[in-house]
A and B are shown apart, each in its own frame.
Chain A
């Protein structure tokens, strides 16, 4: 390679890498530093070592946010994945108008979580919201409630809204993966007497494994990042019952000005994500398939 080439390449790489280093990597390191401070954002920072992390371990609000995130993770892994798979199998057939159907099923993923949140506020609205209206209509009026304001239902309501959108993502990924299932394999199985359930269990599901790995990894990462929908629907309330870690980090930092503590929660969140990132990259086979 000539010197000119080398210089050009160095120039090409240095701009984008510098931007990435200054606005992604460096702030990440700074957050780590802040997490060792007792600091309200304006005061003189006081170095307190790992005290913020110890504090988190003893903070019932942190515990609440942590377990809510854990519940959220389990539901986000199971529900959109199964619904997406069901919808995908239903839509993956030569059918007149199937393209239109598919587009309509995809629609939620193009919407902002702000709009998704807004839409679900209407569903959960206590007086004329769809959920209470339907419950009245089918004679289950006793179950109507102020969904987002009731400590028993707030978290579940937020998670349902979230799953609604994520289902569209799982559906898109499964539909794409289904096109790689060789149809002659299914035909051969049918000739050998395999029913459609058996074909589904023994052929389709195993062949969809790489897609499932990707969908679950995305579900975990998106859940850990999930902030917008909580902020729009409940801001973590009532009484922190619908807090997740991302929301808790925000309210500690910007509502209570516990900036050092907020940074520690952010670092904890990053470490959780890092575990997933490492596991995910190790699944290199699936990753290679995914990224071509």
Chain B
């Protein structure tokens, strides 16, 4: 019906309308994305140009010199490496935990199962401040302060909430006959989980991988608390640490912000579908 009405309208009018809508969206986008445009513009200018003309103009000669400078003359490469060394294992292990707990909570009923499940997923909502001082003390006492391990461990533990929630819900939707048939064939619970359930759960795993990667990569509080030296800082803590030293070098800071954001933006662009369904946690699904 709507199509019939649309085609009945004069073409020119629809065209003008669509130009108007596009123009409107682009105008709003320019305002909304101004912060991002600003940081990109800054990263492509020399400090001299910024000093002379400010940030908000098209660079006369776009230059990558700031990126080279940051990568060559600051510990940024080390920070990036640390971020990967924290993010990848923490993402993987937290998903493994979610697979195990999701399987147990989705396939079996046992006393207090519901309560235990709620306790695990409630962790999503805990303010990290409530765990902060004891964790700081603990890792200090066992000699792991200023290493990468505390960040990995804490992200695994805190990640358990979201991974368990998503995996339990995903696995609950799988037919229970899958497990039963495999068990009748003599399979153990471990092989049911890893040979039957996990291969079917790849979409949920992809959702969790993109979400966890983004959150852990972007985290700032835990590296701020648990690290002090350049050898242990992640890129987000590194940006803050270098801020003091580079107080005037706006261009270097911008380049560093851009570099730090590349991994998550790439993950987002490549896995956008998974990322969004993760954020909406199945809100689309009826």
Contact = CB atoms under 8 A, between A and B. Distances in A.
Interface in B226-281: 236, 239-240, 250, 253-254, 257, 260-261, 264-265, 267-269, 272, 275-277, 279-281
B198 interface: no
A27 interface: yes
User: In this complex, which of A9, A103, A270 has the most chain B Cβ atoms within 10 angstroms of its Cβ?
Assistant: A9
B133 A262 contact: yes
A12 B239 contact: no
Contacts of B281: 290-292
Contacts of A96: 18
Given A5-B189, A8-B190, A16 B130 contact: no
B29 interface: yes
A110 interface: yes
Given A12-B103, A17-B120, A225-B128, A27 B134 contact: yes
Interface in A74-101: 87, 90-91, 93, 95-97, 101
B33 A107 contact: yes
Contacts of B253: 118
B38 A110 contact: no
Given A4-B188, A19-B160, A292-B281, A115 B260 contact: yes
Interface stretch (A139-147, A148-156, A173-181, A193-201): A173-181
B1 A292 contact: no
B97 A19 contact: yes
B129 A110 contact: no
User: In this complex, which of B116, B221, B284 has the most chain A Cβ atoms within 10 angstroms of its Cβ?
Assistant: B284
A56 interface: no
A107 B265 contact: yes
A62 interface: no
Nearest to A184: B1
Contact of A291 (B36, B38, B169, B254): B169
Contacts of B39: 115, 118-119, 122
Given A19-B97, A27-B131, A277-B122, A110 B103 contact: no
Given A24-B131, A119-B39, A112 B100 contact: no
B86 interface: no
Interface string B151-176: 00110111010001100010001000
A170 to B, nearest CB: 11
B25 A91 contact: yes
A38 B108 CA distance: 46
Contacts of A169: 279
A292 B282 contact: yes
A227 B100 contact: no
B78 to A, nearest CB: 17
Contacts of A106: 268, 272, 276
A25 B119 CA distance: 9
Contacts of B202: none
Interface of B: 1-2, 18, 21-22, 24-25, 28-29, 32-36, 38-39, 42, 50, 54-56, 97-98, 100-101, 103-104, 108, 116, 118-120, 122-123, 125-135, 137-138, 153-154, 156-158, 160, 164-165, 169, 173, 183, 188-190, 193, 214, 217-221, 224, 236, 239-240, 250, 253-254, 257, 260-261, 264-265, 267-269, 272, 275-277, 279-286
| Interface pairs A-B: 8 shortest CB-CB | A128-B54, A112-B218, A292-B282, A23-B157, A16-B97, A27-B134, A30-B134, A8-B189
Given A8-B188, A90-B28, A172-B276, 18 more contacts: A16-B101, A23-B154, A24-B123, A90-B24, A91-B25, A105-B29, A107-B33, A111-B261, A115-B260, A119-B36, A173-B280, A176-B276, A176-B280, A190-B2, A263-B133, A269-B130, A273-B126, A291-B281
